[in-house]
Structure 1
């Protein structure tokens, strides 16, 4: 399958992407991919550095005649979101991504593709390896753990980079030039509960929610996509008087809109008929509401063995009420930029088992005060239920600079190359530029990239034509970097 990907144009880009995708690279498990990049730099005979946090920096001198241009930092992150369909047999720790070509798209077999940010990394590798591309002096910055905390960017200390311009290659629409992004904060909710025996004369049932599109919890949050955890909780709210919860397993990663959720519960025998009738009614309502954005939503109920242990009624009611009250989705739109989501929350993961409750959220905002406003609202909601709430991993957004010199270069270059005007935007996702700017405040930063759809989900796909367009755009930018002052 990788063979047909390797045959795509530009070959250097797709071959480096295929090489990269053969290496396991989950967030916080980047040892193999870090070594892969270090070996790549060393084989090229380029200065290769690993900083204390684990970021890799490879430095390449300017092409002949380009020595008087400003030094450029090319930046991408090495980690990828590891998500797979529940029926896909795949080990992310040991296997490389299985890719296929589908018309204009490159996809993976039942897993995330890793084009976020693998295509950006592959492009940087291609520039480093080329003896023909014209470019100024390059510092290639490969950061770690972007997807689950931005710890690579946050840990990069001052003094490692000398570049005046940073090109972040992590934007997912090829007609967009990004000059700002949202910050984020992790919300972790935890509680213990007392387990009791399942009610006498009860029967076991499993509720399964599948088939949702899911997606990026920032870039896709405005689309009104179904959240499996909120859907499951809505169903549980409707049947809470006749059921007792044994287990819940919903969602996966904080930065992915949850696609699936599964609940095991006990239902009073005398209430089976009303239980099934209520679920049928509520499921029909939910499917009708989401039919445009999630037409493949499946809500299945199957009779199973009665569980041994269930939640107490008080614990169950507190759980259902708190999740119902907790905000999910867009919280506030920007007053300053049209159609920009300012603040949002994703209820990403809900687990209930063996007397322990854990709920994971990711709150994003381009405005720090609004970010903490929503985080505190969520904290208050869960604390009212008696839960312990921890706020962690906060990182800042990236404030747009409309007077940027590199913005002018990219806008003009795009217009000349493609005879159309690029969309200058800020995005509702975490880019590393804002964090990197903390220790490099004078660096002129911008972000762009090829079109990628369905990032953070097994439906992720990368456009072949767009990747060709992106590659042409990048090479033209490098050829025209401004002269040093």
Structure 2
């Protein structure tokens, strides 16, 4: 299946990408991919090291005639989001990604593709392995754990790198040049509850919400896509208010940076209310589907009668829990007043688990404003604490403040227009890039971000555009040819 990918142009990128996708590389489980990159660097006889947290750094001297140019840091992250469809039988810990070509797109069979950020990493590998591409001295920085905490970027010590320019290859629109991004903070709400004996004369149902698009909780949050946790909560709230529905368990969503695509719950109601419950719930389901008809045409909400569980959630806790989820903001909180069309602050209710006496709710709040990030985080904390939850903040990371006077930004903006006959879209984004974190220890490094078209990142619908990857590869090579001179040097060309 993956042999067809190796034949795509540019072959050097797609072959490196295929090699990457043969290696399991979940966040916080990067041992195999770290060793893979170390072996890769050593096979090229390039100076290769692993820092104290697991980031891999590979250095390559400048090509002939480029020695007087500024050293460039090429940066991408090694980990990928592991998501799969519920009906896909796949083990991310042992299997390589199964890819196929669909027209102008490369896709994966029922799982995330890993183009985020595998294509960026593959492009860096292509530069490192080349013998005919003009480039200045290169420091290739492959960070770990970008998707679940950015601990690789946070752990990179000052002084490990000497480069003056950093090219982050983790943007997902090929006509965009990134000059800023949002920061983020993880919010976790937890509480225990007493399991009560299931009332007599009840009937049980499994409710499933599936078929949503999902997507990146930063780049896609403004689209109004369905959040499976929020949709499920509407159903539970309605059943509780009208029919005394009781919750046995809930399992909704997945990773904090992915918009939840699926949610499953087991509930019970009085047998006497069966017909009216089914009638009203199906009416609500039809209404929800109609609301999302354009954005979520594959949305499926089903009720299936199952064996009655022995235990249900304490009634008082259940009421507070359902109302807290209803009250908690999901989606855009504030648009930027400075950059048109940019989401400034948002929240993703990413994961809800309620089972065997314990509830956990995971959210990721993003913002390019540190004060607004904390404002929304405190709003969510207040909602959950009022419902008796213990709330913790963790994994806070800063945004990347735009520098409109960036030298490398002007250079590559001009190059983009020269190559493509139109201006690039220069903007900050609502995703969390590592540049803001790296800036803390490398404040004087000039940074930009760009990449090929990748759609549906963080979901099994993730796909990478073949023609866009060709465009991206040509752009990257042209940028490296035009890196400015070191200070106090003159060109020999």
Q: Structure 1: where are the runs of 5+ without partners?
A: none
Deviations 1:209-251 (A, max 9, x none): 0000000000000000000000000111101042110010000
Counterpart residue number, 1:204: 204
Structure-2 residue corresponding to 1:222:
222
Deviation at residue 281 of structure 1 after TM alignment: 1.5
Which residue of structure 1 lines up, in the alignment, with residue 190 of structure 2?
190
Task: Kindly provide the CA deviation profile for residues 232-274 of structure 1, in whole angstroms up to 9, marking residues without a partner as x.
Answer: 0011110104211001000010000000000101110011112
Instruction: Tell me the alpha carbon deviations over residues 91-143 of structure 1, each in whole angstroms, 9 at most, x when there is no partner.
Output: 00000000000000000000000000000000000000000000000000000
Give the conservation status (yes or no) of the 8 Å contact 1:57–1:140: yes
- Asked if residue 131 in structure 1 is aligned to residue 131 in structure 2, the reply is yes
- Secondary structure at the counterpart of residue 216 of structure 1: coil
The root-mean-square deviation of aligned C-alpha atoms, in Å, is 0.5
**Displacement of 1:52:** 0.2
- Please, which of 395, 401, 404 is the counterpart of residue 402 of structure 1? 404
| 1:352 counterpart residue number | 354
Gaps of 5+ in 2: 488-493
Partner Cα distance (2:285, 2:379) in 1: 29
Q: SS where residue 372 of structure 1 aligns?
A: helix
* Aligned twin of 2:65: 65
On the 8 A contact 1:242/1:271 being kept in 2, the answer is no
Partners of 2:207 and 2:317 in 1: CA distance: 19
Count of aligned residue pairs for this structure pair = 485
2:344 aligned residue (321, 342, 345):
342
Superposed, which structure 2 residues align to 1:145-164 within 5 Å? Answer: 145-164=145-164
Quote the Cα distance in structure 1 between the aligned partners of 2:177 and 2:314: 53
Provide the rounded CA distance (Å) in 1 between the counterparts of 2:281 and 2:228: 15
User: Who is 1:27 aligned against?
Assistant: 27
Corresponding residue for 2:393? 391
Deviations 1:310-342 (A, max 9, x none): 012111111100000000000000000000000
**Structure 1 counterpart of 2:309:** 307
The CA distance in 2 between the partners of 1:150 and 1:406, in whole Å, is 24
Residue 264 (structure 1) aligns with: 266
Q: What SS does the corresponding residue of 2:469 show, helix, strand or coil?
A: helix
In 2, Cα distance between the equivalents of 1:440 and 1:248? 44
Cα separation, 1, equivalents of 2:286 and 2:404: 48
Asked if the contact 1:367–1:397 (Cα under 8 Å) also holds between the matched residues in 2, the reply is yes
- Cα offset for 1:282? 1.1
TM-score, normalised by the number of residues in structure 2:
0.98
Query: 1 CA distance for matches of 2:220 and 2:294?
Result: 15
Q: Which of 335, 346, 355 is 1:333 aligned to?
A: 335
Matching residue of 1:380: 382
TM-score for the superposition, normalised by structure 1: 1.00
Find the counterpart in structure 1 of residue 490 from structure 2: none
Give me the whole-angstrom Cα distance separating, in 1, the residues matched to 2:131 and 2:404.
34
Aligned to 2:166: 166
- The residue number in structure 1 matching 2:45 is 45
Q: Secondary structure at the match of 2:20?
A: helix
Q: Distance in 1 between matches of 2:396 and 2:352?
A: 21
Q: Structure 2 CA distance, aligned partners of 1:315 and 1:336?
A: 42
Q: Tell me which stretches of 4 or more aligned residues in structure 1 moved more than 2 Å.
A: none
- Residue of structure 1 aligned with 2:373, choices 345, 356, 371: 371
Map Cα deviations across residues 26-75 of structure 1 (whole Å, 9 max, x no partner): 00000000000000000100000110010000000000000000000000
Match of 2:321 in 1: 319
**Retained in 2: the 8 A contact 1:208–1:260?**
yes
For 1:116, the equivalent position in structure 2 comes to 116
What SS does the aligned partner of 2:134 have?
coil
CA offset digits 1:143-181 (Å, max 9, x no partner): 000000000000000010000000000000000000000
Q: Secondary structure at the match of 2:179?
A: strand
Any idea what SS the aligned residue of 1:82 has? coil
- Indicate the larger mover: 39-48 or 306-315: 306-315
Deviations 1:378-411 (A, max 9, x none): 0000000010000000000000001100001111
2:18 is matched with 18
Instruction: Give the distance between the partners of 1:153 and 1:285, measured in 2 at CA.
Output: 45
